[in-house]
Amino acid sequence: MYDIIIVGAGPAGLTAAIYARRAGKSVLVLEKDTFGGQVTFSPKLENYPGFQEISGNELAQKMLEQALALGADVDMDNVTDVIGGNVKTVIGENATYEAKAVIIAAGARHRRLGLPREEELIGNGISFCAVCDGAFYKGQHVAVIGGGNTALQEILLLSEVCSKVTVVQNLAFLTGEQKMIDAVQSRENVDVIYSTVVTAYEGESSLTALRLINTETNEESRLEVDGAFLAIGTVPENGAYQKVAKINEQGYIEADERCMTNTPGVFVAGDCRTKTYRQVATAIADGAAAALNACRYLDA
């Protein structure tokens, strides 16, 4: 029996563990995949306070070491269900766990195109976040895959630092807000290729080009780029929490800045919850808020 079980060992989950342990609560962190979450895909962070420059892997490792040093237990397991009640039951593929409170910090996974060698090129020419990685492509030519609001935001940011931004959109039009579309179309260094999808990546150690095909004409082409930003949305991994949390149409757990779900004693932090900005800094803020509210719940 733990005071708090935290599902997910990204920045939100590890921050929650640090705060909970400092409050004297027994803590178990369960992680199914990679300690550090999505931040580990960033080879260099320059917008995290306290570090002029740090890799995502190094930052995640420091957070993990701090949580362990404070006495948090960490285990690898894929959580498949959470059952509420005075005692919460967390069911994993390897074991079943019990706690008085649960913090869901399962994160959200950036959508991929599912093409060969995609995973190995992430961080080596393929990125997801212009705020995080845009500065590395200053004065260079990048592609943005997607045409919704997320993509339009990335395009506008990248157009400020890159010499050229080529947008690859699978539809015959952009799908974001008209005001943002107008802003993108007014940028002289932005080109949009419509009705086109990426069929392959080129490059050995890093991305050098995209192979494209026009879905209307079947014409194939090749686009040389220094980098590509995938902006086709994120996939929250919240299927296991439907019994204890309200999930919206996009799959995110509904919660405000207090990080409280509609089930007493169940909290949510990080990219898996409804929020405007999904950055390392906001995930850490969520982790702190969720842990503090979980401790308040336990002490009531």
Active site residues: 129, 132-133
295 CB-side CA count, 13 A:
17
In the chain, at which residue ranges do the beta strands (DSSP E only) sit?
2-7, 27-31, 73-76, 79-83, 88-92, 96-104, 108-110, 126-127, 141-145, 164-168, 190-193, 196-202, 209-214, 220-224, 227-230, 234-236, 266-268
Distance CA 4, CA 75 (A): 14
Distance CA 270, CA 140 (A): 32
- Start-to-end CA span in the chain (Å): 18
Distance CA 201, CA 5 (A): 40
Q: What's the one-letter identity of residue 112? A: R
